[in-house]
Amino acid sequence: MLQMETPQTEEALKAAKEALAIFRELSSPEGEGTALRVVSMASLGQSAFEALQAANQALKTFKEIGHSKGQAAAIHSIAEAHVGKQSTDDALFKCGEALKLSRQIGDRMREVAVLETMVTANLLLMNGKKAYAAASDALAVAKSLGDQLLEARALCLLAKATGALGETAADEGIQAAKDALAIYQGLGLQSLEGEALVAMAAACSGRQDPTEALACGQRMADSFRQRGEKKEEGLTMCRIASIHLSNKEPDQALRAAQTALASLQAAGDRRGEADTLKLLAQIRLEKEEPGEALRVAEQACTLYRNQAFPTRKSRDSEIACIKAVVDSNAMMGGIDEAARVAGEAQRRFHGIKEKRGEGAAKLMIAKLHLMRQETEDAMNALVQAPPLFLAVGDRQGEAEAWQQIAKIHLNKGEAGLAQRAAEECALAYRKLGDKKGRAGAAQLVADVHFALASVGAGSPQEALRAAQEAVSLYQDLGDKQRAAVSLHILANAQLMSQSFPDALKAAQDGEAAFKALRDPCGEAGSLLLAAGAHLGEGEFEECKRVAKEAQDLFRQGGDQVGEDSVEDFLDNVASYEKGQLNRDDFRGFSMRSVESVQAGTAKGAQPRRERASRKPRQMSNIADIELIKADTSKDTKITLAFFEGFESRSAGGGSRPAPKAPEAAGGFSKGFQDGIDKFGAPQKEQVLYSVRWVQASAGRGAAAGPKKVGKREFAKEEDKRVVSSMQLGAPKENWGSGYGKTNRLFAAAGEQRGV
């Protein structure tokens, strides 16, 4: 059996391959299979795919000689490789096989190891119940073996699992971590005491109060200091700093990290020093001190780059530090310098065939292009990232790249392309098992279907499914802000499906959630959605009452454009009430988010209306609002004409240049323009103007269009003639809290004479 102190380094991998060659020369299948397992273990520090390949070869070798114990070990190695490449579902499947075989042959040590991997995989999936069950089983087996080290490890895993279960299990988890710490201290394993502290912090996270973990950590640090053990003191203080940072206490985190850095430098621990410098960079960025963040991040990069035998962990840390350097320069206005650093990193990682680093650098470059409003350049960088991440099994990076691609397509009005990218994003997060990522991707999918619906191509069922998933996931995560936003999306998806009672309930739930968050604009948005539900039910008086209540809340929040938007909505409600617009065609609102990084105006576009400043938060959210009208044609003939131009308006009047129709549309009658004048929005400042003309049937003044292919998901109604959209503004940095710069579009649709 090969034993190595540091199994995931280039040196360890080289030694394992040499051993493999020797066993092959000796024609020793058992030794060859064992060496292949060690190659797999060492490869995890470099490439999870190579680790998986070696583990599969080991399994084949052990099967050929009928070595059951070796087969169980090899299957376990395959599971660990799947964890390394972020395929948690595959990892759990293989763990099940390995666990069954280990129990059949009575290999209790392997059983514990497999159960530990199952805990890790379930924690990645944020499945606290299954993680807790596996950790409990591992603890029981470890106790039966009388192995205190295994018992302490199982106790740490149990503590981490309780953190995922929430407040009810926190006390049990904290006690488990204390028991593990006592075992490590009794065995004299000072280097492992920090693992118990990390486990205790995880258990405390269940009740969102790290006080007990911090107190325990401080006692440990004081003990190490008294014994003159600088390295252990520094590592403990670094863990304390991480706990403070996770608890949004950057000042306390800074003091602890500075103490840790001094101790580790005195001990000559270069790796610990690099990790602490990386943490200091994150703290400085949290405190919005980019100058200091830049200084320590550059020092950390140098230390990571100069390591003789870099591991996967150290490479990932180096990537994080490069990102901190880029972000720091960008925060100080040095976009050119940030671009230079990102470009150099991309070329270096490409040269050493570090695909994860190269993909991360592409994301940094794309972000900088977006800051400059260089959308095409950003897209060119982004489209190269997913294959790089896919090649190394980095689901997180792949999902982030697809998410940005989808948002850019959505903001450009390319809903079809956005749909594909959003689906790829959702798939990557689903395979990764990241609940938070899955929820964000679900919101994005719903946004895309809202955008598609505005051109008659969205799926109400898919939008509803995605919205329900987002609400459920954010509620499971305890993220009240994003859960409230998801209720907006759910209400709109139900409007889109014409489930007006359900939409009203979701809107009311959203109103209560935003009220608890003391967010008047979010509360107003919920009321506007509720007004839409009343409109769908034909309850015009209640619709107007609720809309006016929303207007009052926008006023309280200092959101003038929100007030204006409600005023325009009420004008069109009056048209619905008089029968001038067809209420049965109402399908909710078109809602989509615009990244806060794109706060400026794209090249060649007209400037947007200025709003009161608010620090942006990175969050997918509803932003644009446009009434969706169903395609209710009874014929199979349909003509679509799309126009985008700019129209200047003012309160006292102004000219309105009529858009020119493309030749394919056939031509517009005077009644068409009269209809727009009659039912258009009140004249106001410069707005984006677009018109969609849909001919319901031949013989109404326009040529017949091509045959319609496929069946629409909207129920058939009476007619579909004109849809006009005009920008009516948006509240502050985002409707319903800070979600990035936004536009709010509103379109009235219904019968127009003379079309």
pLDDT category at 74 given cuts 50, 70, 90 is very high
Helices (H), 415-519: 415-432, 435-453, 460-477, 480-496, 500-516
DSSP 337-358: HHHHHHHHHHHHHHHTT-HHHH
What is residue 249's predicted lDDT score, i.e. its pLDDT?
93
Residue 321, pLDDT > 90, answer yes
Report DSSP state, residue 454: T
Rg over CA atoms, the chain: 30
Q: Tokens at residue 10, please?
A: 């280039």
- What's the mean pLDDT in 721-729? 31
Residue 753 has pLDDT above 60, yes or no: no
- pLDDT at position 310: 77
What domain range is 676 assigned to?
Answer: 434-601+610-750
Mean pLDDT of 356-371: 95
pLDDT for 454: 65
DSSP-assigned letter for residue 626: -
User: In this predicted structure, what is the pLDDT of residue 590?
Assistant: 58
Query: Is residue 71 situated within a structural domain?
Result: no
Residue 303 has pLDDT above 80, yes or no: yes
pLDDT given at position 559: 81
**Residue 630 pLDDT exceeds 90:** no
Q: Per the structure block, which two tokens stand in for 265?
A: 């430098």
Mean pLDDT value across residues 436-453: 86
Q: Kindly tell me the sign of the dihedral angle through the C-alpha atoms of 185, 186, 190, 195.
A: negative
Q: What is the pLDDT of residue 583?
A: 80
Q: Is the pLDDT of residue 99 over 80?
A: yes
Q: What is the pLDDT of residue 15?
A: 87
Quote the pLDDT of residue 591. Answer: 59
Q: What is the mean pLDDT of residues 701-727?
A: 37
Q: Return the number of other C-beta atoms located less than 10 Å from residue 179's C-beta.
A: 18
pLDDT (average), residues 40-48: 82
Q: Is the pLDDT of residue 615 over 70?
A: no
Whether the Cβ atoms of residue 456 and residue 712 lie closer than 8 Å to each other: yes
Q: Are 51 and 81 in contact (CB under 8 A)?
A: yes
Q: Is the pLDDT of residue 172 over 80?
A: yes
**Integer Cα distance of 574 and 588 in angstroms:** 17
Is 712 inside a domain boundary? yes
Q: Residue 619 — very low, low, confident or very high, per pLDDT cuts 50/70/90?
A: very low
> Distance between CA atoms of 524 and 514, rounded to whole angstroms?
9
Residue 718 within a domain? yes
Indicate the number of domains in the chain. Answer: 1
Joined tokens for residue 516 = 């608890």
Q: Which band of pLDDT confidence, cut at 50, 70 and 90, is reported for residue 9?
A: low
219 by Cβ neighbours in 10 Å (0-12 / 13-18 / 19+) ranks as exposed
**Is 740 a member of any domain?**
yes
Let me know if 605 is exposed, middle or buried by CB neighbors in 10 A (0-12, 13-18, 19+): exposed
Position of tokens 């919920």? 526
Mean pLDDT of the 360-389 span:
95
CA pair distance 293, 277, nearest whole angstrom: 9
User: How does residue 8 score in pLDDT terms, banded at 50, 70 and 90?
Assistant: low
Residue 486 lies inside a defined structural domain of this protein: yes
Q: Say if CB 261 and CB 290 are below 8 A apart.
A: no
pLDDT the model gives residue 628: 52
- Report which DSSP code applies to 263: H
Region of 697 please: left (phi>0), alpha (psi -120 to 50) or beta: beta
- Residue 560's pLDDT is 81
Please check the confidence at residue 697 and state whether its pLDDT lies above 60.
no
pTM as predicted: 0.70
Percentage of residues of the chain with pLDDT beyond 70: 76
> Which among 175, 164, 158 has a CA at the least distance from the CA of 205?
164
User: What is the chain's mean pLDDT, rounded?
Assistant: 78
**Res 478: pLDDT:** 80
Domain membership flag for residue 142: no
Q: Which helix (H) or strand (E) holds 176?
A: helix 170-187
Quote the CA–CA distance of 376 and 57 in Å, as a whole number. Answer: 45
High-pLDDT (> 90) share of the chain, %: 52
Q: Is the pLDDT of residue 199 over 70?
A: yes
* CATH number of the domain residue 653 falls in: 1.25.40.10
At residue 655, does pLDDT exceed 50? no
pLDDT-wise least confident of 477-486, 504-513, 585-594, 614-623: 614-623
Average pLDDT over every residue of 177-185: 95
- First CA to last CA distance, the chain: 84
Residues 319 and 471: their CA atoms lie apart, in Å, by 33
Identify whether 535 is part of a domain.
yes
Residue 597 is assigned to a structural domain of this protein: yes
